[in-house]
Structure 1
Amino acid sequence: MRPPITPPTNHLALPSCPTSPGKATFSYKISVGNEISDDVLNVCAELFSSNYGFWGKQASTISKYTIPGKNVKMTGARLQEQCLSHPEHTVLVTYYLQVNTLEGPQLKGHAFATVWDYGQTKVGWVTQLVVDEQVHQRYIATQLLQAFKFHTLFFGVNIVGLVSSHPAACNALAKYAAGNIKDINLNFIRKHASGILATSPISYLRAAQLRGTLFEDDCDSGAISSVFTKFYVDHTEPLKVLSQYQARDQWCLGELLDGHEFLAIFPISPVPVSPITPIEPQSPTKS
């Protein structure tokens, strides 16, 4: 029997990314949900607000506060509600960068994930992934996700997933699963997406509506594996990146529609002894 592995309590150093500044130092830190302070949540919310993106043209249909062209904002309280509602089953990985000794380490990336049971299997779901735009294309998103493997909550996870409007986030998750973004097992998503989302403890995932040819017989929108989240963010930058993946024939999740996000789900090791049985969502009982 393999002895238990104690998760690191200090900053976790991962391999240096090739384009880091020569004199910079960086570190990754893993925290379980009940160890995350309000101060950390507020800093993560600030990073999100500065880097996530802008509201799209239809954002005004969400509320009077979601104004097209304005930054998508996040508060610490809302972040806690969306990503930390089940702290004992949640992990946060943070990436800190220190460029010079006159300034302390600055938060430049973070990833939240929540774990839950799906039948006889265990799901690890990335609920938020944000990287400062100043350090994009330095493998930070990939390393943030890889760091989850060091925490005991992720021991035994054999399905990982996320919903995101950004192809790079889906690609980073594919690397976590030792897969290729162009060779996703779409049949696995078709069979298990509904059950996985229905068993999630995260309310916005349970409310998400499956869209695309995997789930709709008469779909002609170009979407293949998506969810309609009514999150009308501007897709200019994600669509530019998507076109690059498509030009290299490195994409199989279909088109990105307004108010939608891609749905990426991967089976990973350890593989369960018996096949994963789909769980059908139950209709609410009428009283």
Structure 2
Amino acid sequence: MDETNRIKFRWVAGKLITEKDLADCSSLFSSHYGLYDLYAPDPSKRGQRVRMAPSRQKLLLNVAGAWAAMAHLDEELVAYAFLVRGQTSGGTLSWVTQLVVHTEHQKQGIASRLLHAAWGLSDEFGWGLVTASPYAVRALENATRRRCDPGVIRENQEELGKFAERFVNYVKDTAFVVDEGRCEVNTEFFVDHSEVLSMVANASKANAWTLGPLDPGHEWLAFVFQPQDPRELTVAEFDRLVADQDSTGIVREAYARMTLDGSHKWNKGTVDEVDFSQLNLDIPVGGRVLDIGCGLGRHTIELAKRGYSVVGVDFVERFIHTAQENAAASGVEDKATFLKADARDLHLGEEFDAVVCLYDVIGSFPDDLDNRRIVEGVSRHLRPGGKVLLSVMNRGLVEAVATHKGDIHENLHVFAGLKPSLTMQQSGEIFNPEYMFFDPTTSLVYRKEQFTLGDDLPCQLIVRDRRYSKSDLESLCRECGIEPIWTRHVRRSHWHEDLPAHDSKAKELLMLGFKK
């Protein structure tokens, strides 16, 4: 496999970065950023490696809205970016405060991928960085599909200055120099510029250089803005973007950012749903039940209240902690056990009398193999004859309501133009046609989901999930050793009623089955 395809990306809030991460970033910077030039005020540093201690890097991340994006090849850190997001009068601005790529991996598009995976197709007001590297400027332009234009930068110069005052300490007291022939800032960072001219020449083979020359101790002020017309997104860029975002654990990230509190629609009807489950699963008195994708534990806890011994699993650590607290508050901590685990690789070493796997666990992943592994795990943990109740999102309703649909590769301009939503976080109404694109060939729905509440940083993710027809779901279950008893199209908490597949209320496909 090409080593660039083995690169995995990871995001972490600045306040949560570990000492090991900081040490790795410091080592990469100190070994690969560059040399001090002959104009450095301290003669002892001239020609020496520019070094950055972890403590200094921590200062960059110790501001509101700061976070880090890291790229690993196998276990080795090969690139990272520190960013800070904040509000301006025009909207959210992302400022890259540090961007470093391992020398052996430069000019391979890793920096562009790192920024693209972080920003995706976000609708932020602006993105940019201060840098002495032409390759970093090109990475910015490639990631945003926009060109740095000194005229546009000058129009937004005041906003950039105000932002720097609040968030970027090494620039806040420095005047910007922006005119048609120059776009720079005096950071008094005397990094060696001896190769800058040749780097500019290499970076300018496809597009003319727009930011002008660079004086000693200065760095380019490179920014692009939302109103600038982006070039069209290519198929290769889109496929790389979703693959890179997938490598960050996009599904876990999306679900971890959901509030899922008592007001969230996905949390309604718990008692009715457990009444239905208890009636249909034929659980023996005191029987063992497994709840896969338990979230905050609402079904697990309600089943435990009824005397069953229940294990709830979820791959979001925050959910597990909250579920444990909820179980203790309900007085069922002796009956409800919670484990952090990935449903795609679940091996608990025991069989249960019944399994529930509800609300968009199966189908959360765009890869059919991932979803199959979840069903295999259901079967593996169910005793012969034991029953399972599982639900997926209904393809029939998507077919009926989708207004943006077709081959995603042939309609990237349509998807790029869709508005982002707060659907998952706020309402759970993920069938709103205004915010989704449906590819009938793959049965995948694509959405731009934004998550802005809580202490975590604002984030926009491209979420893809699988929708199922009745035949899709039943075939998958049979292949995994589960025989369907019935499958019906239902609405939330009204599982007794079988609706037409295209009914506007039939958002779920619910199946009762047993292990052969």
Partners of 1:176 and 1:166 in 2: CA distance: 16
The one of 155, 174, 185 aligned to 1:208: 174
The answer to whether the 8 Å contact 2:36/2:47 transfers is: yes
Aligned-residue offset at 1:161: 1.3
Native 8 Å contact 2:149 2:210 kept in 1: no
Give, as a single letter, the amino acid of the residue that structure 1 aligns with 2:79. G
Corresponding residue number in structure 2 for 1:85: 62
Q: Give TM-score, length-normalised by structure 1.
A: 0.72
Matched-pair contact (CA < 8 Å) for 2:176–2:186: yes
**Alignment CA distance shift 1:175-1:245 (3 Å):** closer
Are the counterparts in 1 of residues 33 and 50 from structure 2 also a CA contact under 8 Å?
Answer: yes
Following the alignment from structure 2 to structure 1, what is the Cα–Cα distance between the partners of residues 56 and 202? 33
Tell me the residue number matched to 1:198.
162
The aligned residue for residue 30 of structure 2 is 49
Aligned to 2:325: none
* Cα displacement (A) at 1:249: 5.3
1:218-229 matches, within 5 Å, as 223-229=181-187
Q: CA deviation at 1:256?
A: 1.7
Contact 2:151 2:179 in 1 (8 A): no
Aligned to 2:47: 69
User: What code does the residue aligned with 2:124 have?
Assistant: V
Unpaired segments ≥5 residues, structure 1? 1-15, 99-104, 215-222, 272-287
Q: Does 1:178 align with 2:145?
A: yes
8 Å contact 1:209–1:229 — kept in the other structure?
A: no
Tell me the TM-score normalised to structure 2 length. 0.41
Q: Which residue of 1 aligns with 2:112?
A: 142
Establish whether residue 112 from structure 1 lines up as the match of residue 85 from structure 2.
no
**Aligned counterpart, 1:275:** none
Report the CA distance between 1:246 and its aligned residue: 4.7
1:255 to partner: Cα distance: 0.7
Count residues with an aligned counterpart: 227
Q: Which deviates more from structure 2 when the two are superposed, residues 235-244 or residues 70-79?
A: 235-244
TM-superposed deviation, 1:248: 5.5
- Aligned equivalent of 2:221: 263
Aligned partner (choices 109, 114, 134) of residue 167 of structure 1: 134
Give the secondary-structure state (helix, strand or coil) at the position aligned to 1:205: coil
Q: Provide the C-alpha distance between the structure 2 equivalents of 1:137 and 1:249, rounded to a whole number of angstroms.
A: 16
Q: What is the deviation of 1:137? A: 1.5
Q: 1:138 to 1:254 in 2, by over 3 A?
A: same
Partner of residue 9, structure 1 = none
Q: CA deviation at 1:247?
A: 6.0
Q: Which has the higher strand share?
A: 2
Q: Which residue of structure 1 lines up, in the alignment, with residue 347 of structure 2?
A: none
Q: Relative contact order, CA 8 A, sep 6+: which one is greater?
A: 1
Higher percent of residues as helix: 2
Q: Specify every segment of 5 or more residues in structure 2 that has no aligned partner in the other structure, as ranges.
A: 230-516
* Cα distance in 1 for residues equivalent to 2:202 and 2:58: 34
For residues 178-233 of structure 1, what are the alpha-carbon distances to aligned partners after superposition, in whole Å with 9 as ceiling and x for unaligned?
124xxx3322211112331223322112123212435xxxxxxxx51111111111
| CA gap 1:224/1:77 in 2 versus in 1, 3 angstroms | same
Query: In the alignment, residue 50 of structure 1 is paired with which amino acid?
Result: S
- In structure 2, what is the Cα distance between the partners aligned to 1:240 and 1:249? 15
Give distance in 2, aligned partners of 1:31 and 1:89. Answer: 11
Q: Sequence identity of aligned pairs in percent?
A: 26
Which residue type is aligned with residue 243 of structure 1?
A: A
Q: What displacement does 1:42 show? A: 1.3
1:122 aligns with 2:92: yes
Q: Does 1:250 align with 2:220?
A: no
Amino acid at match of 2:199: V
C-alpha contact (below 8 Å) 2:176/2:185 kept by paired residues: yes
Structure 1 or 2, whichever has the larger Rg, is: 2
Quick check: 2:14–2:61 contact (8 Å CA) kept in 1?
A: yes
Query: Using the alignment, how far apart are the partners of 2:89 and 2:58 within structure 1?
Result: 27
